[in-house]
Amino acid sequence: MAATAGGHLMQRRAFSLLVITALAVALFLATVLHSIRPDRKRAFPTGAIRIGVDASYPPFALDDGGSLRGLDIDMAAAIAREIGLPAQYRNIGFYSLYDALISGEVDALVSSLPIDAARTDDVRYSSAYFNNGLVLVSAADSSPLAIENLIGKRIAIEYASSADSILHGWSADGVAVQRLPYELSEYALDALRLGHADAALIDNLTYRLYQRGHSQWSSASQFITYDLYAIAVRRDNHDAWQLIEAALEQLRNEGELARLIAQWV
Amino acid sequence: MLAIILLAGLGWLALGRAGTTPPQEQPLVLSQHFVQTQKPQVCVHTLLENEVETAKILRSLEMTRQLGAASIVQFFPWAYVESQEGKYDWAQSDHIVRLARLQGLRIIARLGLAPDWARPVGTPLTRLPDAAFKEFAEYAAAFAARYAADIQHIIIWNEPNLSVEWGFQPADPTRYADLLTETYSRVKQAHPAVVVLAGALAPTLENSRSGVGLNELDFLTALYRLGAQAHFDALAVHTYGFRDAPDAPPHPGRLNFRRVELLRQIMIDQGDSDKPIYITESGWNDHARWLHAVRPSQRAAYTIRAYQYAEEHWDWLEALCIWALRYPADLRGYPDGYTLINPEFLPKPVFFELQTYARGWAAKESLWLPPPGDI
């Protein structure tokens, strides 16, 4: 009996050793594979980067008489240059973009896509290149507005927008502000600029575009919510993700991404 | 010792049973409520058929009552109730009907979706072969009889002028007229007082050569030509505003809120003006990335103006139902821009404006302030 028990013990040890070795090899292979330089041919087998974009969302992308223009278009072109391949654009309706990517019609979506956690079984997102969340805007010469200091303050918003919902939530949480609803976000910013409001709660894109039209006006802002735009590739196309992410990082480091954003938004 | 073993055995048995039998939900003890409203035509389309938790069904219905909506349109899929031929499972329907009754809500019931056994293998739930018309009529009659005390309005099928609602078969007025004929008499036998609604017709510009559907004007005209007039008591219609204001004039080549007036004119022309119309889906969408959407401010303002317009001009309208109160989960697309409350039951601003209108609370002169430059 003792000899049999000893034999079982040896077998268990041998099995454990085998499992540990297999895991170590798998870990090593995964590390090596991960560190292998991404392959352009594997990432973009047609020899071009096929980009899906919904060109109906200026200033990110717009079909201007058959010619596509906008931040997403210029940024995609810059990324393609960094990778060393030509960019080919496909103008696709917003709600068909993911189908086009998953079915392989395009290699990447560069279309001011909000990062959607529910899609990450199928796609992988790049790092975010723009935040279109809500910003709390105040006059540049006023003191910074912390949420707890907003009680009684006049906050201008676009009526019925997500900013309006946030004010309802603040009110429910005991932060009772004086709500100034306007038909348009731009009117809410007008109210702040003209001194009718202490702050405006507005999406970042509207705020930035408004600033372009009122360059003499100085203001301060802070993000209250996040709505991050990123590039999407198929989850199994790891090479494409690595190449695009590296190119995006390069553009960021060179200041080119900031320049493009400032040019369009 | 024997006693201990016996007790242990009994305990084990009890535990085993507890582990295999799902816990039974205790019936909720709820009090009877009534809808307080000044505008009884306010109605919402609910989507309770796919809810699992009673708490969510109840919360949806409570918020409908608090909104001041007197009615809901609610779907009762045939495929869910009679998944096995000849065996009705009314549990979920009973549950929804009871909870709606306790909130004081009127139900306009929409019936549709064919079970597996009633359609060819591999076809979608909306496929309804001619051979299954009789079985569908039997289900509709059984439904009408079971809920005779609670439900006085039944819509036969959904958007029959769209191919997708026929399992991608042609949207054929002849087949729908046949379905109405088969169903109407059976339902009336089961519940003579029930109001049978034809439709609900979908807004579309498709012509007779389209594979997608047939515009609702031609479809309704064809129904009258086929003699379907005797087989419905009222017409159900879907009309959406898209980007037009609620008072934008109707035109056969345009989809907007007042398009329903063109259908009304066909009914008058056919000598059928005594029948009312129920708008069982309507509204505006404020999703930021949909081309047919409006701004959130426009959506709220248009919704209230639509009700005011209907009240002033449409004495033939029985109900104006907003699509939709709430989805069980975000659809992650433009349809999310149609709801009044989000999946977490947070009301959108349009909910509060509609509530103010329906409850007859003192409304502000304007929903928003004038542009600051004009002050």
Residue A32 lies in a domain: no
Give residues with Cβ within 8 angstroms of A224, minimum separation 6.
A133, A134, A135, A136, A147, A166, A201
Cα three-residue angle A188-A194-A197, rounded to 5 degrees: 55
Which residues form the domain of A64?
41-131+228-264
In this structure, the dihedral spanned by the alpha carbons of residues A208, A214, A215 and A216, taken in order and rounded to 10 degrees, is -140
Q: Tell me the percentage of chain B whose pLDDT exceeds 90.
A: 87
CB contacts under 8 A, A 113-132 vs B, are: 116, 118-119
Exposed, middle or buried by CB within 10 Å (0-12, 13-18, 19+), for B122?
Answer: exposed
Examine the pLDDT at B218 and tell me if it is beyond 60.
yes
Distance (Å, whole) CA A147 – CA A223: 11
Q: Does A38 touch chain B (CB under 8 A)?
A: no
From the list A111, A107, A113, the residue with the least C-alpha distance to A50 is: A107
**B49-83 core/surface letters (b: 16 or more CB in 10 A; e: else):** bebeeeeebbebbbbbbbbbbbbbbbbbbbbbbbe
What is the nearest CA distance from B348 to chain A, expressed in angstroms?
Answer: 7
Collect all residues of chain B within an 8 Å Cβ-Cβ radius of residue A181.
Answer: 367-369
Here the contacts of B268-273 (C-beta below 8 Å, separation 24 or greater) are: B270/B224, B270/B229, B272/B224, B272/B229, B273/B316
The CA-atom distances, in angstroms, between B369 and each of A155, A184, A218, A242, A247 are: 13, 10, 24, 50, 46
What is the reported pLDDT for A171?
87
Collect all residues of chain B within an 8 Å Cβ-Cβ radius of residue A57.
Answer: 289
pLDDT band at A31 (very low <50, low <70, confident <90, very high): low
Tokens of B267: 């009914």
Exposed, middle or buried by CB within 10 Å (0-12, 13-18, 19+), for B356?
Answer: middle
Tokens of B152: 């006085």
Closest by Cβ to B372, choosing from A94, A158, A191: A191
Q: Does A182 touch chain B (CB under 8 A)?
A: yes
Collect all residues of chain B within an 8 Å Cβ-Cβ radius of residue A118.
Answer: 332
Give me the total of CB pairs closer than 8 Å, taking one residue from chain A and one from chain B: 68
What is the reported pLDDT for B375?
46
Q: List the single best residue of A187, A204, A225 to mutate versus B (max B Cβ within 10 A).
A: A187
From the list A130, A131, A133, the residue with the least C-alpha distance to A248 is: A130
Examine the pLDDT at B90 and tell me if it is beyond 50.
yes
Instruction: Verify that A169 and A218 share a domain, yes or no.
Output: yes
Lowest-pLDDT choice from A121-125, A137-141, B98-102: A137-141
pLDDT band at B25 (very low <50, low <70, confident <90, very high): low
Collect all residues of chain B within an 8 Å Cβ-Cβ radius of residue A166.
Answer: none
pLDDT band at B374 (very low <50, low <70, confident <90, very high): low
Residue A16 lies in a domain: no
What is the nearest CA distance from A146 to chain B, expressed in angstroms?
Answer: 24
What is the nearest CA distance from B37 to chain A, expressed in angstroms?
Answer: 23
Instruction: Verify that A144 and A127 share a domain, yes or no.
Output: no
Instruction: Verify that A193 and A118 share a domain, yes or no.
Output: no
Examine the pLDDT at B9 and tell me if it is beyond 80.
no
- The per-residue pLDDT for range B48-73, each reduced to its tens digit, is 999 999 999 999 999 999 999 999 99
Which residue type does B213 have?
G
Instruction: Verify that A232 and A218 share a domain, yes or no.
Output: no
Mean pLDDT of B83-103: 97
Exposed, middle or buried by CB within 10 Å (0-12, 13-18, 19+), for A86?
Answer: middle
Collect all residues of chain A within an 8 Å Cβ-Cβ radius of residue B296.
Answer: 158-162, 164
Contact state of B371 with A182 under an 8 Å Cβ cutoff: yes
Instruction: Verify that A194 and A236 share a domain, yes or no.
Output: no
Distance (Å, whole) CA B363 – CA B361: 6
- Residue in chain A closest to B340 (alpha carbons) equals A160
Strongest mean pLDDT among A30-39, A142-151, B92-101 = B92-101
Examine the pLDDT at B119 and tell me if it is beyond 50.
yes
Contact state of A56 with B291 under an 8 Å Cβ cutoff: yes
Examine the pLDDT at B19 and tell me if it is beyond 70.
no
3-class secondary structure, A159: coil
3-class SS string, chain B: CHHHHHHHHHHHHHHHHHHHCCCCCCCCCCCCCCCCCCCCCEEEECCCCCCCCHHHHHHHHHHHHHHCCCEEEEEEEHHHHCCECCECCCHHHHHHHHHHHHCCCEEEEEEECCCHHHCCCCCCCCCCCHHHHHHHHHHHHHHHHHCCCCEEEEEECCCCCEHHHHCCCCCCHHHHHHHHHHHHHHHHHHCCCCEEEEEEECCCCCCCCCCCECCHHHHHHHHHHCCHHHHCCEEEEEEECCCCCCCCCCCCCCCCHHHHHHHHHHHHHCCCCCCCEEEEEEECCCCCCCCCCCCHHHHHHHHHHHHHHHHHHCCCEEEEEEECCCCCCCCCCHHHHHCCECCCCCECHHHHHHHHHHHCCCCCCCCCECCHHHC
Instruction: Verify that A211 and A172 share a domain, yes or no.
Output: yes
Sole residue written with tokens 């169903």: B183
What is the nearest CA distance from A17 to chain B, expressed in angstroms?
Answer: 39
Mean pLDDT of B244-248: 98
What is the reported pLDDT for B28?
74
What is the reported pLDDT for A38?
92
Residue A177 lies in a domain: yes
Distance (Å, whole) CA A81 – CA A209: 28
- Residue in chain A closest to B334 (alpha carbons) equals A95
pLDDT band at B6 (very low <50, low <70, confident <90, very high): very low
Lowest-pLDDT choice from A140-149, A240-249, B247-256, B364-373: A140-149
The answer to whether the beta carbons of residues B326 and B345 sit under 8 Å apart is yes
Mean pLDDT of A94-107: 96
- The per-residue pLDDT for range A191-222, each reduced to its tens digit, is 999 999 999 999 999 999 999 999 999 999 99
Mean pLDDT of A99-123: 96
Examine the pLDDT at B1 and tell me if it is beyond 80.
no
Closest by Cβ to A116, choosing from B332, B353, B373: B332
Architecture of domain B31-360: Alpha-Beta Barrel (3.20)
- Residue in chain B closest to A164 (alpha carbons) equals B349
pLDDT band at A26 (very low <50, low <70, confident <90, very high): confident
Examine the pLDDT at A230 and tell me if it is beyond 70.
yes
Collect all residues of chain B within an 8 Å Cβ-Cβ radius of residue A164.
Answer: 296, 349
pLDDT band at B146 (very low <50, low <70, confident <90, very high): very high
Structurally, chain A folds into a number of domains equal to 2
For chain B, what is the mean pLDDT? 93
Q: Tell me the percentage of chain A whose pLDDT exceeds 70.
A: 93
pLDDT band at A4 (very low <50, low <70, confident <90, very high): low
Examine the pLDDT at A20 and tell me if it is beyond 50.
yes
Examine the pLDDT at B152 and tell me if it is beyond 70.
yes
Closest by Cβ to A160, choosing from B332, B333, B349: B349
Q: List the single best residue of B346, B351, B368, B375 to mutate versus A (max A Cβ within 10 A).
A: B368
Contact state of B350 with A158 under an 8 Å Cβ cutoff: no
For chain A, what is the mean pLDDT? 91
- The per-residue pLDDT for range A159-196, each reduced to its tens digit, is 999 999 899 888 888 888 999 999 999 999 999 999 99
Percent helix, percent strand, percent coil in chain A, to nearest 5 = 45, 25, 30
What is the nearest CA distance from A114 to chain B, expressed in angstroms?
Answer: 11
Examine the pLDDT at A112 and tell me if it is beyond 90.
yes
Mean pLDDT of B338-367: 92
One DSSP character per residue, A171-226 reads HHTT---EEEEESSHHHHHHHHHTTS-SEEEEEHHHHHHHHHH-TT--EEEEESS-
Instruction: Verify that A120 and A145 share a domain, yes or no.
Output: no
Mean pLDDT of A49-60: 96
Contact state of B296 with A158 under an 8 Å Cβ cutoff: yes
Q: Tell me the percentage of chain B whose pLDDT exceeds 70.
A: 92
Could you give the count of Cα atoms lying within 13 Å of A217 in the half-sphere of its Cβ?
21
Tokens of A87: 């960019």
Instruction: Return the CATH number at A232.
Output: 3.40.190.10
Q: Is the pTM of this model over 0.80?
A: yes
Examine the pLDDT at A19 and tell me if it is beyond 90.
no
Residue A18 lies in a domain: no
What is the reported pLDDT for A140?
87
Instruction: Verify that A51 and A172 share a domain, yes or no.
Output: no
Query: Maximum Cα–Cα distance for chain A, whole Å?
Result: 94
What is the reported pLDDT for A223?
95
Could you give the count of Cα atoms lying within 13 Å of B78 in the half-sphere of its Cβ?
32
What is the reported pLDDT for B2?
44
ipTM: 0.79
Contact state of A160 with B291 under an 8 Å Cβ cutoff: no
- Plot region of B271 (φ>0 → left; ψ -120 to 50 → alpha; else → beta): left
Lowest-pLDDT choice from A130-144, B171-185, B321-335: A130-144
Mean pLDDT of B166-174: 97
The answer to whether the beta carbons of residues B220 and B263 sit under 8 Å apart is yes
The answer to whether the beta carbons of residues B365 and A181 sit under 8 Å apart is no
- The per-residue pLDDT for range B267-319, each reduced to its tens digit, is 999 999 999 999 999 999 999 889 899 999 999 999 999 999 999 999 999 99
Contact state of B297 with A183 under an 8 Å Cβ cutoff: yes
Residues of chain B contacting A, Cβ within 8 Å: 286, 289-291, 295-297, 299-300, 332-334, 346, 348-350, 352-353, 367-369, 371-373, 375
Examine the pLDDT at B221 and tell me if it is beyond 50.
yes
Cα three-residue angle A4-A7-A11, rounded to 5 degrees: 140
